């Protein structure tokens, strides 16, 4: 139908090509090919088509951003699922960004005629990017010759379109480049900001919790250290061989040791089942180190505090954990103590203490830290708004550096101690 419509418009233009000022006198070939009594129907059809296209754009934007979050190339955003189908979603941040961009475009270009250059260039770039992605996909599956033929065939045609469209840049095509550059900048900063921080750090960014298990067990039983919390909880993905972020180990014992009766390490996995609520527990061969793996459906709100209390009750009743009797509590017969959640943040100013870091690396790492501070807070994302949450700052680069020792010049006016036998 679309091809027939375009052919009809082209036929009408060829028929009236001899008419002077054709484009100025005719509002649009799409409406001109319709008889006068049918133009109102054409307006309705065009309006419905615009609504459908806009909805496709919005849904496509949600899907692309969701996949980008899973690939860790954009910051985490709060996602709502109105139905039991995972593909149907709503991301409010993306919706408002589209709204703002749409208003700015309408305000800047005023008419659809002025937007033709922007639209044409954006379509051409989209076609070319799709060809490149398909080329990479085919090549990844071992069909290098097929991928090359595909790239040459379609890429050459689209490259001609791109060259022809570059003349539209000063007539509005720059808007496409501005929007594309902003999105690409966020993706580069978010992905490579973390990569460059790991590369600059001279030590591995992950440590195995097994290597610190005895220290935490002894710390829990050391009454000389003040009790920080009965249950101390860290929400962080624990990888194979119990690998945790170095910042978490530093928070536990690197700065001021945090003594607790039970240490909890929580990993949250999103399940394809919309309403799944299940968990698994690994005690790491101890009685006070608990690794909990949650499997939560994509429609389940991650109310971590409520879930952790339920798990603690279950483990105490099963004899896995010791009862935690409280002297002061609303429920006098409760067996679970207080919970404290620790969330680690980092300062951009740590970059200023490293003079050998390149300006580009400072920009990437600092940009990622800025994006982290302006996206969904972990306490809000995991339902900890009314829980005891401690936000602490840890060094951006945690490593043992050889520092130059100071040279002592003198010490004077000291008080001598009397040695009494």
Q: Calculate helix-pair angle for 173-200, 92-109, nearest 10 degrees.
A: 140
Is residue 401 pLDDT above 60, yes or no?
Answer: no
Spatial separation of the C-alpha atoms in residues 232 and 258, rounded to whole Å: 8
| Percent of the chain whose predicted confidence (pLDDT) is above 70 | 93
Q: What is the pLDDT of residue 232?
A: 95
Q: What is the pLDDT of residue 403?
A: 60
What CA–CA distance (Å, rounded) separates 315 from 283? 10
Which among 194, 192, 171 has a CA at the least distance from the CA of 119?
171
Distance CA 38, CA 133 (A): 43
Structure token digits, residue 81: 């699922």
The structure tokens listed for 288 are 């006070």
Residue 312 confidence (pLDDT) = 93
Q: How far apart are CA 256 and CA 261, in angstroms?
A: 16
Tell me which of 316 and 393 has the higher pLDDT. 316
CB 10 within 8 A of CB 30: no
420 has pLDDT over 80: no
For residue 22, what pLDDT band results from cuts at 50, 70 and 90?
A: low
pLDDT for residue 78 is more than 60:
yes
| Exposure string over 88-127, b if 16+ CB within 10 A, otherwise e | ebebeebeebbeeeeeebeeebeeeeebebbbbbbebbeb
Q: Predicted confidence band at 404 (pLDDT cuts at 50, 70, 90)?
A: low
**264, 292 in Cβ contact below 8 A?**
yes
Q: Is the pLDDT of residue 421 over 60?
A: no
SS3 181: helix
Q: Output the pLDDT for position 419.
A: 61
The string of pLDDT tens digits covering residues 247-294 is: 899 889 987 899 999 999 999 999 989 999 999 999 999 999 999 999
- Integer Cα distance of 62 and 83 in angstroms: 15
CB distance 245 to 212 below 8 Å: no
Distance of CA 41 to the CA centre of its chain: 45
pLDDT at 318: 93
Average pLDDT, stretch 42-51? 88
Query: Are 232 and 260 in contact, with CB atoms under 8 Å apart?
Result: yes
Q: Mean of the pLDDT values across residues 7-33?
A: 76
Q: What is the mean pLDDT of the chain?
A: 86
Once rounded to an integer, what is the mean pLDDT over residues 204-213?
Answer: 87
User: What local confidence, expressed as pLDDT, does residue 203 receive?
Assistant: 60
Q: Cα 127 to the chain's mean position, in Å?
A: 26
User: pLDDT by residue (tens digit) across 327-336?
Assistant: 776 766 678 8
pLDDT band for position 18 (50/70/90)? Answer: confident
Beta strands, E only, 272-379: 277-282, 289-297, 339-346
Please give the Cα distance from 379 to 386 (Å, whole number): 9
Percent of the chain with pLDDT over 90: 39
Contact call for residues 322 and 287 (beta carbons, < 8 A): yes
Cα–Cα distance between 354 and 46 in angstroms, integer?
59
Q: Where are the alpha helices (DSSP H) in 110-172?
A: 116-140, 144-165
What's the pLDDT at 188? 95
> Which residue is associated with the tokens 């409010």?
92
Mean pLDDT of 28-33: 79
**Nearest CA-CA partner of 197 in 377, 366, 400:** 366
Per-residue model confidence (pLDDT) at position 31: 80
pLDDT digits (tens, 9 = 90+) for 127-184: 999 999 999 999 998 889 999 999 999 999 989 988 888 877 777 778 888 888 999 9
- pLDDT, residue 122, reads 84
Question: Which pLDDT does position 209 carry in this prediction?
Answer: 93
Cα angle 21, 27, 31; round to 5: 125
What φ, ψ does residue 386 adopt, rounded to 5°? -110, 20
Distance CA 47, CA 316 (A): 63
Q: Is 233 helix (H, G, I), strand (E, B) or coil?
A: strand
As a whole number of angstroms, the distance between CA 112 and CA 397 comes to 51
């Amino acid at each position: 139908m679309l091809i027939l419509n375009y052919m009809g418009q082209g036929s009408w233009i060829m028929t009236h090509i001899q008419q002077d000022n054709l484009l100025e006198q005719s509002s649009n070939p799409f409406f001109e090919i319709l008889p006068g009594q049918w133009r109102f129907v054409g307006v309705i059809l065009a309006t419905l088509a615009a609504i459908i296209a806009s909805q496709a754009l919005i849904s496509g934007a949600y899907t692309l951003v969701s996949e980008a979050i899973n690939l860790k190339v954009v910051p985490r955003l709060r996602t709502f699922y109105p139905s039991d189908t995972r593909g149907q979603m709503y991301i409010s941040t993306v919706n408002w960004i589209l709204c703002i961009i749409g208003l700015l475009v309408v305000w800047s270009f005023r008419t659809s005629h002025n937007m033709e250059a922007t639209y044409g260039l954006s379509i051409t770039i989209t076609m070319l990017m799709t060809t490149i992605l398909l080329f990479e996909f085919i090549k990844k599956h071992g069909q290098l010759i097929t991928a090359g033929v595909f790239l040459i065939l379609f890429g050459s045609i689209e490259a001609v379109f791109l060259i022809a469209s570059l003349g539209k840049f000063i007539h509005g095509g720059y808007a496409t480049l501005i929007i594309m550059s902003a999105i690409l900048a966020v993706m580069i900063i978010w992905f490579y900001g973390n990569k460059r921080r790991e590369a600059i750090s001279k030590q591995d960014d992950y440590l195995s919790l097994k290597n610190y298990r005895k220290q935490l067990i002894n710390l829990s039983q050391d009454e000389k250290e003040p009790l920080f919390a009965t249950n101390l909880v860290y929400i962080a993905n624990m990888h194979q061989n119990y690998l945790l972020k170095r910042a978490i180990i530093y928070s536990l014992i690197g700065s001021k040791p945090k003594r607790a009766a039970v240490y909890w390490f929580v990993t949250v996995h999103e399940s394809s089942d919309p309403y799944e609520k299940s968990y698994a527990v690994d005690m790491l061969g101890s009685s006070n180190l608990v690794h909990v793996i949650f499997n939560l459906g994509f429609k389940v709100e991650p109310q971590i505090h409520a879930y952790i209390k339920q798990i603690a009750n279950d483990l105490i009743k099963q004899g896995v954990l010791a009862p935690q009797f409280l002297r002061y509590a609303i429920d006098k017969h409760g067996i679970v103590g207080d919970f404290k959640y620790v969330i680690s943040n980092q300062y951009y100013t740590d970059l200023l203490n490293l003079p050998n870091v390149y300006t580009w690396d400072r920009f990437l790492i600092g940009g990622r830290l800025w994006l982290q501070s302006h996206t969904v807070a972990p306490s809000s994302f995991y339902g900890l708004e009314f829980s005891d949450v401690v936000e602490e700052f840890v060094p951006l680069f945690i490593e043992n550096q050889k520092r130059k020792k100071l040279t002592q010049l003198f010490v004077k006016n000291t008080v001598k101690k009397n040695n009494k036998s």
